[in-house]
Amino acid sequence: MRLYHGTNVEIKQIDLAESRVGKDFGLGFYLTPDRQVAQRQAERKYEQYGVGVPTVYEYNFAENDLNALQVLRFSGYTLEWAKFVLENRKNRTHKQVHDYDIVIGPIADDVIGY
């Protein structure tokens, strides 16, 4: 499975301590299977902060890498998804409101155009 991360800063290693609070799925390192989405995110971050270089990082994972992890999957924009996103966005602490290792699904930015 090939996934991408778009940013404006150099990433030497993934550090969850750098994660910002109030994100759709909570603290974490956000990836997408769509390279173009990652590219748009990288450009958005560059425009937002005015520093760095828009960069897309590529990561490859085997499907069985997920087997030992707690995974939550949302198939689309459902009421359950909306409640989950709202809880995470309201959380302004570094303590997760859920126990999942990975959350898969759409982010609200795709819906409301952030």
SS (H, E, C) the chain: CEEEEEECCCCCCCCHHHCCCCCCCCCCCCCECCHHHHHHHHHHHHHHHCCCCCEEEEEECCHHHHCCCCEEECCCCCHHHHHHHHHHHHCCCCCCCCCCCEEECCCCHHHHCC
* pTM for this prediction: 0.86
Interval 50-107: pLDDT, tens:
999 999 999 998 888 888 899 999 999 999 999 999 999 999 999 999 999 999 999 8
The answer, yes or no, to whether residue 113 has pLDDT greater than 50, is no
Residues 25-35 have a mean pLDDT of: 95
pLDDT band for position 110 (cuts 50, 70, 90): low
